[in-house]
Amino acid sequence: MHKFYMELIRMRFLTMLAYRVNYYSGIIIYAINIGAYYFLWGAIYGGQQQLGGLSVAQMTSYVAIAWMSRAFYFNNIDMEIAQDVREGKVAIEMIRPYNYLSVKTAQAFGEGIFRFLFFAGPGIFLISLIIPFHFPATAQGWGLYLLSLLFAFLINTQVNLLTGLLTFFMFRNDGMIRAKRVIVDLMSGLVLPISFFPGWAQTLMGFLPFQAINYYPSLIFTGVTSAARAWQLIGFQVIWMVVILIPILILWRMARSRLVVQGG
Amino acid sequence: MQNAKHIYSIFADYLSQYFKTRLAYRADFLGDLASNLISELINLVFIIVVFQHVPLMGGWSRDEIIFIYGFFLVPYALFSIFFGFWDFNERYIIRGEMDRILTRPVHNLAQVCLESIAPDRIFGVISGLIIMGYAAIQLKLDFYWYDPIIFIVLSVSGALIYGGVYTAVSAISFFSDSRTGISPMIYNIQQYGRYPVDVYNKIIRFVLTYILPFAFVGVYPAAYFLRKETWYIYAAMTPVVAVIFFGIGLLVWNIGVSKYRGAGS
Amino acid sequence: MIQVKQLQKEFRIHQSRAGLGGAFRDLFSREYKTVKAVDNLSFTVEEGEMFALIGENGAGKSTTIKMLTGILTPSSGDIVINGFVPFKEREDYVRSIGVVFGQRSQLWWDLSPLESFRLLKSVYKVDDTAGEKWLERLIEELDIGSFVSQPVRKLSLGQRMRCEVAASLIHKPRLLFLDEPTVGLDVLVKQKIREFLRNLNETEKMTILLTTHDVSDIEALCKRVLVMDKGKLIFDGLLSDLKEHWGNGTEVSFQMKKRTKASELRNVLGDMPCTIEQINDYSLRVQVPRSQEMLPFVLSTVMASFDVSDVKIMETSTEDIVRNIYRTDGEVASHA
């Protein structure tokens, strides 16, 4: 079984390699996005030393690493699930001797590794040549970031599984999936560090899992947090991961029984 | 000209076809509407939150930035109505629908546009107008009697600029033999040009003006209504840029069609 | 009406390298192989002809049809149809042709065929009164009136296919292309479509070209057959000639009531040029090279001399013929 999932990850990795126009356009998009936000933030800071608890230098690192982290955790498995459901492929997936959701997660992971190695890796290197950029100083800092990034991937994938599973009950939910994507981008701290939001909004977002997807790992990377605080953030991520697992399992069970009733 | 007239006359037929199909999936209709509204709001949230920390961004005030964003939404919505073929590669190239398109006596790009027309995106125009109206009141802007006409010309030009770039990008599918992910590119494209280009450095400003001229969709034309005289020339150039870039898009598309390989054997 | 001269179409096909390292190298440089899908094809067709283009999968049939309909641009060579060069004057040219792709629909999935017809009428600028009459005739002759206002997704394949044919004829083209029009249809629907096409050809003098895998399609409809193999035209002539020259002839198997030996059969048939094969004690197979002259003789002689319980006659399939031609792999046979 373990071997099977490894094979899935490898397959998706190879598939990603095959679509080279995708690859090149992805690099352009990420480069422009990071560049645009970098200058935008430069203009926003103007002469000011610190905004929302971050210095200009930290903000620069934050913007770059937030996009790079996104390269790893971002995937479209909710769209893929929706398509499988609409085209009736999911019924076939159900009779196969594996868990559909784990398969999707493995595929997303293969995609994530690809993007991390081929987008984020070269991207970070290029950006560090052009704009002032701070890497974590210690091996421990790197380790904490990567660990936190892994959980970020898992939580985002779970959120996607959740929206994807809703397709079983709504048939068409492309609109919702797209709305979720922009909401995640905003609430995860990709476009704005959470510390920029007014107090009441920060409190509200504390009750939501989205900042565990980007804000936590990016904070750890920029070195704004102490190691102790970093462990605490990773702890939050683990809690969120367990919490989101519950509705997924419930929805999955409901979806399966629904499929049996309808006969696919 | 004869052709354009014909396209215009079948436009109404496609429109009614669209509404008949759409009535079958009402939930989807509402979902799309909500998702578009949410994306518009979230971009607004960014502006509002940032300006809680600073009074100016590169010399532009909050309401000016909001006005530019509101303006940008109008050409973007017009563009989305007519250029909704974000799944072009999947639907027309891989599944081979282009074969059918090419055996019909209407220009093929026009057919693709008409088949994926999305009139519900007209709501983007409405939210754009509301946002602009709010900002205009805050800024106490004055308008001349001919400004609405200029507004329409600039909006249509902006939509054509997007359309031209989008058409050229979509046409990559004709040349490449692999799946091409043009939809994420388009999703991201709308990010740029919403903010004043003078906040960016020279290279990005150059790109947004001459290579992917999205500054002509937001800042430049909006600067006219904000009475920023330094940008007047750029605003006036918008229709010219539109004609050039739409022409380039069409040219790339037509070359692409002649390289079309068809699906299957 | 159709003139094709030295038509060629080449494709560049990307060769994937194997493995992870190969995929990585593909990202930066690719290897291509050039394939000639259509190689030096020439033929002419008169107005009102009804003919079939056949060949194995990958022989270049679809590519040829796509060039004839203006979808693909030829690598070299000339095509002139109805006075147009298809890929150059596409929009004017396609007004004079109709195309049915068996695998692909031109109808709106969620709407009724009638809605699609209405839209196509405005696309083709079909004159209203005459167009209306013509459409009525199509609906009547194809017998689609009873379901033409149901959504397409609720129609059976046979019903949909007849609507597809109607949709492709809405503008009364002079030339009709059908690419695998009867795949997956049951016998009755096939017959209906064939009858309709034959009638159309007779009353309107419409030129009809079809590609097919179904030999009964060709037999029912076409006199002339073009055979392609590996992009080349290897036969152009009458169906009867094709069978005479390249067919295995006809196979007749006899089931006898008593034990019968091949030599006994040979005795009654004399020196008739046919092969006789013993299948088991009671059944024998006779291979007749030219069916028209010999089949009646073989049948009547055997039936008269033996106690026959069952007879099966098997015609050579088009696939067999194509395979035979391919095996000979010789000069281009032309009997046009």
Centre a 10 Å sphere on the Cβ of residue C252 and count the other Cβ atoms it contains: 20
The per-residue pLDDT for range C32-91, each reduced to its tens digit, is: 888 888 999 999 999 999 989 988 777 888 889 999 998 889 999 999 998 999 988 888
Lowest mean pLDDT among A25-34, B231-240, C276-285: A25-34
- Residue B215 belongs to a domain: yes
pLDDT number for residue C102 = 77
Lowest mean pLDDT among A199-208, B170-179, C136-145, C154-163: B170-179
Segment C273-299 shows an average pLDDT of: 80
Query: In CATH, what number does C2-244 get?
Result: 3.40.50.300
Strands (E), B59-137: 60-61
ipTM of the complex: 0.81
Could you tell me the residue ranges of all domains in chain C?
A: 2-244, 249-315
Residue among B38, B49, B57 minimizing CB distance to A179: B38
Interface check B103 vs C, CB under 8 A: yes
- Residue B110 belongs to a domain: yes
- Give the separation between CA C120 and CA C114, rounded to whole angstroms: 10
Task: Locate B155 and state its tokens.
Answer: 């909006």
Structural domain of B112? 2-258
Residue A52 above 50 pLDDT? yes
Taking the CA of residue C227 and the nearest CA in chain A, the distance in Å comes to 37
Residue C160 above 80 pLDDT? yes
Considering only CA atoms, which of C304, C254, C301, C302 is closest in space to residue C282?
C254
> Residue C82 is which amino acid?
N
Tell me how far CA of residue C119 lies from CA of B28, B83, C123, C128, in angstroms. Answer: 24, 20, 6, 13
- Give the separation between CA C293 and CA B65, rounded to whole angstroms: 91
Count CA within 13 A, CB hemisphere, residue C335: 17
- Give the separation between CA B109 and CA C163, rounded to whole angstroms: 26
- Give the separation between CA C196 and CA C188, rounded to whole angstroms: 12
Cβ C315 vs Cβ C263: under 8 Å: no
Interface check C196 vs B, CB under 8 A: no
Three-class SS of chain A? CHHHHHHHHHHHHHHHHHCHHHHHHHHHHHHHHHHHHHHHHHHHHCCCCEECCEEHHHHHHHHHHHHHHHHHHCCCHHHHHHHHHHCCHHHHHHCCCCCHHHHHHHHHHHHHHHHHHHHHHHHHHHHHHHCCCCCCCCHHHHHHHHHHHHHHHHHHHHHHHHHHHHHHHHCCCHHHHHHHHHHHHHHCCCCCCHHHCCHHHHHHHHCCCHHHCCHHHHHHHHCCCCHHHHHHHHHHHHHHHHHHHHHHHHHHHHHHHHHHHHCC
Residue A66 above 60 pLDDT? yes
Cβ-defined contact of A44 to B50 (cutoff 8 Å): yes
pLDDT number for residue A263 = 46
Task: Locate C6 and state its tokens.
Answer: 């030295």
Task: Locate A98 and state its tokens.
Answer: 């594996």
> Residue C170 is which amino acid?
I
Residue with token string 């999703």: B187
Tell me C94's DSSP state.
G
Question: Mapping DSSP to helix (H, G, I), strand (E, B) and coil, where does residue C325 land?
Answer: helix
Residue among A29, A39, A183 minimizing CB distance to B185: A29
pLDDT number for residue C26 = 74
Taking the CA of residue A12 and the nearest CA in chain B, the distance in Å comes to 14
Buried b (16+ CB within 10 A) or exposed e, C116-153: bbbbbbbbbebeeeebeebbeebbebbebeebbeebbe
Torsion of CA A165, A171, A172, A178, to 10 degrees: -10
Considering only CA atoms, which of B165, B147, B144 is closest in space to residue B155?
B147
Per-residue pLDDT band for C332 (boundaries 50, 70, 90) equals very low
pLDDT number for residue C330 = 46
- Residue B264 belongs to a domain: no
Cβ-defined contact of B9 to C92 (cutoff 8 Å): no
- The angle at the Cα of B261, spanning C123 to C184, to the nearest 5 degrees, equals 70
Cβ-defined contact of C70 to B103 (cutoff 8 Å): yes
- The angle at the Cα of A123, spanning A115 to B169, to the nearest 5 degrees, equals 70
Tell me how far CA of residue B69 lies from CA of A95, A119, B161, B255, C335, in angstroms. Answer: 50, 30, 17, 35, 72
Segment B227-239 shows an average pLDDT of: 93
- Give the separation between CA C120 and CA B214, rounded to whole angstroms: 37
Residue with token string 């001399």: C305
Interface check A41 vs B, CB under 8 A: no
Residue B21 above 80 pLDDT? no
Residue with token string 């629907």: C189
pLDDT number for residue C336 = 36
Q: Element (H or E) spanning C10, and its range?
A: strand C2-15
CB within 8 Å of A230: residues ≥ 6 apart: A144, A148, A220
Per the confidence metrics, is the pTM higher than 0.95? no
- Residue B265 belongs to a domain: no
Strands C207-211 and C175-179: parallel
Centre a 10 Å sphere on the Cβ of residue B159 and count the other Cβ atoms it contains: 23
Per-residue pLDDT band for A256 (boundaries 50, 70, 90) equals confident
Residues recorded for chain A: 264
Interface check A20 vs C, CB under 8 A: yes
The per-residue pLDDT for range B59-113, each reduced to its tens digit, is: 899 999 999 999 999 999 999 999 988 788 888 888 888 988 998 888 999 999 9
Bridge partner list, C80 = C3
- Residue B263 belongs to a domain: no
Cβ C298 vs Cβ C272: under 8 Å: yes
Tell me how far CA of residue B57 lies from CA of A191, A192, B236, C86, in angstroms. Answer: 16, 15, 25, 57
> Residue B116 is which amino acid?
S
Based on the structure, what is the number of domains in chain B? Answer: 1
Q: Average per-residue pLDDT in chain C?
A: 84
- Residue B88 belongs to a domain: yes
CATH architecture of C249-315: 2-Layer Sandwich (3.30)
pLDDT number for residue A83 = 84
Q: Which chains touch C (3 or more CB pairs under 8 A)?
A: A, B
B-C Cβ pairs (cutoff 8 Å, strict): 80
Segment B169-191 shows an average pLDDT of: 69
CB within 8 Å of A149: residues ≥ 6 apart: A69, A72, A73, A217
